Amino acid sequence: MATPLELSTRRGPDGTSVVTAIGEIDMSNADRFRSALSQAAADQGRLVVDLTGVQYLDSAGVHALFAYAPGLELIASPLLAPVLAISGLSDVTSVRES
C-alpha cells in the first residue's frame, strides 16, 4: 500500500514559498501535488520544494516539478538523487541535499 502524501506550505525567512512533501508522489496524487505547487508559486517566481520526506517520486511527480524548473530549488535526500539526475531535473533546477 502506498504511503499517503502530506503537503504543507509556509513562507521562508526571505518570503519565498516552501512546499514540504512527505510520503510518496505518484500518479494517484500528482494533481494534488501540482495544485500545491501552483498555489505556492502564484505570488512569485521562486519556489522551494522540500522533498526530504519523500520516499518515492514517479514520472507524474517529476513532470509537476518541471513546470516550475526555472525558479525552483529542491531539497532532497540522496534517495531521490538518481530520479532527479536521470530525469534531467537536477540539470535545470537547483538541488541541495538535506
Total count of residues recorded for the chain: 98
pLDDT in tens, 2-45: 668 999 999 988 889 999 999 999 999 999 999 999 999 876 76
Does residue 75 form part of some domain?
yes
Average pLDDT over residues 47-68: 96
The verdict on residue 92 lying in a domain is: yes
C-alpha 18/C-alpha 4 separation (Å) is 20
CATH number at residue 24: 3.30.750.24
Domain that residue 44 falls in: 6-97
Predicted confidence band at 98 (pLDDT cuts at 50, 70, 90)? confident
Residue 1 lies in a domain: no
Q: Tell me, what DSSP letter sits at residue 78?
A: G
Domain total in the chain = 1
